[in-house]
């Protein structure tokens, strides 16, 4: 089992701009790009851990997003799966 984590927070300016976008409605693009970066980072960290174990693939990858609270606006993206050695048939 391997897990990659990527905790993220927005700076003051990012939170301000997101607040304005949320008042208007629709997608909050400043958060979308940060979440996409965090997702890719979490997957890459899980991939690195799998490779360190001698695996060449991850199966059953589960992506989760959670807020760790602390009134800091920290969001954690996690990627968890089973590291395996995949062999060609």
Q: Nearest Cα to 72, choosing from 15, 20, 29, 25?
A: 15
Q: What share of the chain in percent tops pLDDT 90?
A: 49
**How sure is the predictor about 41, in pLDDT bands with cuts at 50, 70 and 90?**
very high
Which pTM value belongs to this model?
0.77
pLDDT tens-digit readout, 1-29 = 999 999 887 665 555 555 565 666 666 67
Q: Is the dihedral of CA 69, 73, 74, 76 positive or negative?
A: positive
Q: If you ran DSSP here, which 8-state letter would residue 53 be given?
A: T
Averaged confidence pLDDT in the chain: 84
**How sure is the predictor about 81, in pLDDT bands with cuts at 50, 70 and 90?**
very high
Sheet containing strand 57-67, strands side by side: 2-8, 75-84, 57-67
CATH topology (fold) of 2-84: Translation Initiation Factor IF3 (3.30.110)
């Amino acid at each position: 089992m391997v897990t990659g984590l990527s905790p993220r927070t927005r700076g003051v300016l990012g939170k301000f701009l997101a607040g304005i976008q949320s008042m208007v409605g629709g997608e909050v693009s400043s958060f979308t790009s940060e979440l996409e970066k965090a997702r890719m980072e979490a997957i890459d960290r899980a991939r690195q851990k799998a490779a360190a174990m001698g695996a060449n693939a991850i199966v059953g990858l589960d992506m989760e997003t959670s807020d760790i609270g602390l009134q800091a606006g920290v969001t954690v993206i996690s990627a968890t799966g089973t590291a395996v050695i995949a062999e060609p048939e």
